[in-house]
Structure 1
Amino acid sequence: MTELTVLVLDAPIVAVAVYPDRARVTRRGRLTLPAGDQTVYVDSLPLGLQEDSVRVSGRGPATVLGVDVAMRHHAQAPDAAVAELERERRAAENEVAELADADEVQAQLDAFLSRLGQRAGGTFARSLASGSEAADLGEFTDSLAVRLTAVRAKRRELAAQQEEASERLAAVERRLAEVSQQRVPDRRSVGVDLAVDDEAEVEIELSYVVPGAGWTSTYDVRVAEDRLTLNWFGVITQHTGEDWPECELTLSTARPAVNAKVPELDPWYLDRYHPPVPVAPAAPAAFAMAGGRAEAAYGGMPAPGASFREVAATVEQGLTAATYTPPRPVAVPADGAAHRATIAAIELETKLDYITAPVRSTDVHLRATVVNSGTHTLPAGKAAVFHDADFVGSAALPLWAPGEEVELALGLDDRIRVERELTRRTATKATLGSTRRREVEYETKIENHTPRTAHITVLDQLPVPRDHDITVKPLTATPDPTETTDLGLLTWQLDLEAGQQTTIHLGFRVETAKAVHLTGWRE
């Protein structure tokens, strides 16, 4: 049997396809292979790699004999970011130690000068008692004071430097702890067994699926006049253990599944309960594992430049899924932070109107009704809504298919004034064999103070009885409602010119039997 030569391929990430709940990563590299059977390893792959998603292809005069997925154990994390942080930590630790040593030297010098002053004091005292000159004493004390002042100033300077170095060390340790939680020393490795007749350069492409990644949609909705601009963004997060550099990044709505299967229903049986029959434990059955190896048939040598024979891979995509490529590369580190990429800017026509429910509140809401006239099916997501240049709030956009209509709330507009007033209320007491009556009438005034004609939807309601001894009879509804439902909802569609006002009158009667105690009444 021919012994395989082991080589390591430098295959950086060149493409990432991000799905809603995972990602497919593609690596690519070139190397020159000697003649014979070779095993080429791609190292430093994430632990979460799904073995049965591995796919190998390439170009060159080689035959794929097989693919193995193995675990590589490292003494330290091979990640460049972790290695750099570890170097920074060692440098900060050395700096802190050097400053501590320098401070210890200054402390010893401080102690020495203090003891020198104490010892010299007795000598000078005896000299003065014997009548010696005091000039030497003054020079000595001045020199000692200068030296002590310099030493203590140096110690203060070293203390400040020690504090700064300790803070830098703590910051590096925090960053290292955060990154190390996501980057462990152990890594996966994929080995590709290849056969070549003569020395040749080949290109190998490796792709695999990893969990811990995904994307969601967010939107900026800007409404001006009768036009709506929808800016669609994809927000990408990932903590797969490997950083994605700026590369070919695509966002897909597909949900890949390794073992996709059309759902089927088994028969649903009902039967009499039978006590279980004791069964002797069975002997354990022998089993074999492929160990992540993908078998490939041996074959002849392909012509130079031909594609590799592909190893079977299982990455499923829905037939109706869409894939989006942002206009510029986006680097996404494995820090779990959100990274936003622009997907599209869509211009849509919109219809603006107002809606109010004075029975609840006299606030008037500006509403935009928009039809998705584009070709994109927009995933559900959060939208920041702007009316002209003003931010008016946030909204949750549902899944929005082409041709579908969506309503967006654009905030309150105080230029449409609404007042609702109870103008009449009567009540009668029940006598023997009679019923109790309550009659109310409301007046709702609507005024348009905008500079243009406003289409206003006004909502009101009649109570709905839930007992046969309670009846509700409408008395007044002027102007006639545009729509009335069986549940008492009344709708008026009004068009008010600039500066115009109108009034809606609504009255009704509620009759109850003498013994009925009414609940749910409000005025």
Structure 2
Amino acid sequence: MADTDTLVGNTETNKVLYDAKRNGVSSVTVFQANRAEVKRKINVALKEGQNDVEITHLPSCLEESSIRVDGIGNATIFDVVYHPPPPLDDKKRNEAIKDLEENKEKLTSELNIVNRQSEMLVEYSKTMTSKDASAEQLESFLELYGARQAKLNERKTEIDESINKLTLQINEKRMELNLDEESITKCGVRVTIVVLAGADGDAELSLTYLVDSASWTPQYDLRANIAPDTKSESSVAIHYRASITQTTGEDWAGVELTLSTASPLQGTDIPTLQPLWISQKPEYRRSLAPQAARKSALFSSMASGPSVGFPAGLNVRGAIANEGAISATFTIPGLSTIPSDSQNAQQTHRVSIAELDFPSVDLEWISVPKETPSAFLRCKVKNTSKYLLLPGQANVFMNGSFVSKSQIPHVSPQESFSCSLGVDPALRVTYHPQTKRVKSSGTAVLSLSNKTTTSTFEQAITIKNTRQSRVHRLLLRDQVPVSSNSSYKVNLLEPRSLAANAKGAKNAAVLVTEGVRVQWASKREEDEESKVPAEDLTMDTAQGLMEWIIELEPSATVDVKVAWEVSAAVGDQWVVRN
């Protein structure tokens, strides 16, 4: 039975005190939306008739409307009363240390007087010389000086000790008051459960409530084992974790922990659209005193109620929607302990959700050497587990070594996702210096209008596979400029197969050489904003972006080349810009 104190107030009402700080929580469901549902089981000894079970030191961040009470036993729950945290009494707080501080000030003043007396005694001793006093007078003064200075030093020591004691008492009192204040601000809520019992006996009450200042986020450790040769298979394992933070003021020790993606207290009202009206734009005149005008408007809006200056619905919380909520829950096996942290020193507490193995992995390498002369390894994994993967940060380990951080998107069971594994140093990419040639053509009899200048550019790229395994799919991306002015004409020269197919009806990967194909590409891999289907892309609609699909055997090297020319009238100056 829980630790409760029973007080018989009168013959009619049996009062039972239950301290939440001295009794633990049974289960907690943590939501991502800065909420947690806490459940307590309270065993009480009831008397026949009315019983008032008062539960103290509940979290101050408790949502009043979320309180729910159930019970097991021969009794009826008659009422549940919520008591908010009491206000802080600053006057009582100041009076508690007022006498101590006044005594300290008196002692400090006395210490200053004693120090001044000692200084005056020393200053007077400096004026004594053999010319002004005889030997007997000097000896008498020294005896008086020694005795007086000893008494002053003794008094100084006594005062210092008294001041130190008072300082310690003041600090202890302030700490005690701070603890009391923290108890009120953190755990100041009380709940009274009125229970009507038909006979004396034991009962079990279940108290459930929502608190804020608690949340969780998914975190992953993605460990990729890349096959070292053609005889092995690559695999991916994911350690699915949850990072939990809570500053509710109550510790969750040895609780049954559940994680949920639901959003309680978010409201269930479907939003509506208001009509939009076109009207003449008003003319604004600059005020001679804009700050005064804003200040006047502010006070007038505050005086007329919240509906004028501030939206009245900001502080209104919606009811909890239990039916029809679409969410995922994760029940953590065993018992978990999540202590409450302070606002100034928040910590994350990690719990394990699952360890997932994905033996079937598709690997591909992506290189954009114009920006970074490297090849990035990316894996495509099918979520064959029963777990929903939520968007979160992943620590990526490749063959046992940490390589980078990545992001895992929202992935449902049986859905595939891609994740970057960082740069693969085994693929060496060289972006050679660009070459340029300029020539003029045409005739100029009366003017230069028919004479053109053609600038030809060539870019070579080399990729070498130093792995002992085959690279099945390398996506190499580069670009040629496109013209936004009809005075400048851009022609693609290399790859010849893509240039020859430029006027084709469909955009398809055309063969360049064995193991190398090329096609026009979208700005993004999955460009949702693009209205042009991938098969209808041209040099202009693809904005000059092209993509090679390359297969590389172990220790093989592939060279690709892109070339284009820009034609313009002689004397026209043009530039390439983003």
TM-score in same-fold range (> 0.5): yes
Whichever residue aligns with residue 563 of structure 2, its letter is: G
- Aligned partner of 1:507 in structure 2 is 563
CA contact (8 A) 1:326 1:342 kept: no
Aligned residues: 462
CA contact (8 A) 1:426 1:439 kept: yes
Identical pairs, percent: 21
Q: Quote the Cα distance in structure 1 between the aligned partners of 2:416 and 2:383.
A: 6
CA contact (8 A) 1:365 1:410 kept: yes
Is 2:31 aligned against 1:28? no
What are the Cα deviations for residues 453-490 of structure 1, in whole angstroms up to 9, with x where unaligned? 55643222344455677353334455374240222412
What are the Cα deviations for residues 271-305 of structure 1, in whole angstroms up to 9, with x where unaligned? 9xxxxxxxxxxxxxxxxxxxxxxxxxxxxxxxxxx
- Aligned partner of 1:410 in structure 2 is 421
Is 2:480 aligned against 1:445? no
Q: Quote the Cα distance in structure 1 between the aligned partners of 2:467 and 2:166.
A: 63
Moved more, 377-386 or 172-181: 172-181
Q: Quote the Cα distance in structure 2 between the aligned partners of 1:196 and 1:61.
A: 6
Q: Quote the Cα distance in structure 2 between the aligned partners of 1:140 and 1:497.
A: 103
Tell me: CA distance 1:133–1:211, structure 2 relative to 1, closer, same or farther (3 Å): closer
What are the Cα deviations for residues 389-442 of structure 1, in whole angstroms up to 9, with x where unaligned? 654433232112233333333333455242323245344355555765443222
Q: Which of 70, 73, 90 is the equivalent residue of 2:82?
A: 70
Q: Quote the Cα distance in structure 2 between the aligned partners of 1:407 and 1:132.
A: 103
CA contact (8 A) 1:70 1:190 kept: yes
Give matches, 1:157-196, under 5 Å.
Answer: 179=182, 182-183=185-186, 187=189, 189-196=190-197
Q: Which of 527, 546, 549 is the equivalent residue of 1:489?
A: 546
Compare relative contact order (CA 8 Å, sep 6+) and give the higher one, 1 or 2.
1
CA apart distance, 1:379: 1.0
Is 2:491 aligned against 1:479? no
Give matches, 1:49-448, under 5 Å.
Answer: 49-65=62-78, 67-72=79-84, 74=86, 107-111=112-116, 129=134, 132=136, 179=182, 182-183=185-186, 187=189, 189-225=190-226, 226-240=234-248, 242-246=249-253, 247-256=255-264, 260=268, 315-316=322-323, 318=325, 320-325=327-332, 328-333=335-340, 335-336=342-343, 337-344=346-353, 345-349=355-359, 350-388=361-399, 390-415=401-426, 416-423=428-435, 425-429=437-441, 431=443, 437-448=454-465
Compute the TM-score of the two structures, normalised by the length of structure 2.
0.63
Q: Quote the Cα distance in structure 2 between the aligned partners of 1:177 and 1:454.
A: 67
CA apart distance, 1:444: 1.2
CA contact (8 A) 2:461 2:560 kept: yes
CA contact (8 A) 1:95 1:165 kept: no
What are the Cα deviations for residues 110-140 of structure 1, in whole angstroms up to 9, with x where unaligned? 45556667889999989962x6497666666
Give matches, 1:7-18, under 5 Å.
Answer: 7-11=16-20, 12=23, 13-18=25-30
Q: Quote the Cα distance in structure 2 between the aligned partners of 1:132 and 1:100.
A: 42
CA contact (8 A) 1:417 1:449 kept: no
Q: Quote the Cα distance in structure 2 between the aligned partners of 1:233 and 1:255.
A: 20
Question: What SS does structure 2 have at the residue aligned with 1:183?
Answer: helix
CA RMSD of aligned residues (A): 5.0
Tell me: CA distance 1:393–1:169, structure 2 relative to 1, closer, same or farther (3 Å): farther
Q: Quote the Cα distance in structure 2 between the aligned partners of 1:223 and 1:447.
A: 22
Q: Quote the Cα distance in structure 1 between the aligned partners of 2:350 and 2:358.
A: 21
Question: What SS does structure 1 have at the residue aligned with 2:252?
Answer: coil
Tell me: CA distance 1:94–1:229, structure 2 relative to 1, closer, same or farther (3 Å): farther
CA apart distance, 1:495: 1.4
Question: What SS does structure 2 have at the residue aligned with 1:366?
Answer: strand
Compute the TM-score of the two structures, normalised by the length of structure 1.
0.69
Whichever residue aligns with residue 350 of structure 2, its letter is: A
Q: Quote the Cα distance in structure 1 between the aligned partners of 2:174 and 2:220.
A: 36
Question: What SS does structure 2 have at the residue aligned with 1:74?
Answer: coil
Tell me: CA distance 1:138–1:243, structure 2 relative to 1, closer, same or farther (3 Å): same
Q: Quote the Cα distance in structure 2 between the aligned partners of 1:327 and 1:400.
A: 26
Q: Quote the Cα distance in structure 2 between the aligned partners of 1:368 and 1:410.
A: 7
| Unmatched runs of 5 consecutive residues or more in structure 1 | 78-85, 272-311
What are the Cα deviations for residues 343-369 of structure 1, in whole angstroms up to 9, with x where unaligned? 333333455553211233323333343
Question: What SS does structure 2 have at the residue aligned with 1:374?
Answer: coil
CA apart distance, 1:209: 2.2
